[in-house]
Amino acid sequence: MTIVINLDVMLAKRKLKSKELAMYVGITEQNLSLLKSGKVRGIRFNTLEKICERLACQPGDIMEWVAGGAIDSAIDSASDSASDGVNDGI
């Protein structure tokens, strides 16, 4: 199971910059960047509410659940091909 964050897609559709959204929501641009990359463990409902309010969208428009194998295997094969020929020191 994987939750995919599609925040970049909604920002592009609304022609809105990350900086403007971060200011509206009241979070740092760095925290918004972490959220966009999916590197956070959770999000407060009031933060999600402000994001949806500014983007005029539903939570499901910016977050999507994907069954485990599809995304995980795509990420694994992308990282495998990116590291071909590279000595990881392992």
- The token pair that represents 68 in the structure block: 């485990």
Q: Which tens digit of pLDDT belongs to each residue from 16-46?
A: 999 999 999 999 999 999 999 999 999 999 9
User: Is position 90 within any domain?
Assistant: no
| Structural domain harbouring 48 | 2-82
pLDDT bin (cut points 50, 70, 90) of residue 83 is very low
- Spatial distance between the Cα atoms of 59 and 28, rounded to a whole number of angstroms: 20
How open is the CA angle 58-43-31, to the nearest 5 degrees?
Answer: 105
| 3-state secondary structure at position 78 | helix
Total of domains in the chain: 1
pLDDT of residue 69: 57
**Residue at token pair 């495998």:** 80
CATH of the domain at 64: 1.10.260.40
Task: Say what the pLDDT of residue 85 is.
Answer: 44
Q: Which residue has the higher pLDDT, 77 or 19?
A: 19
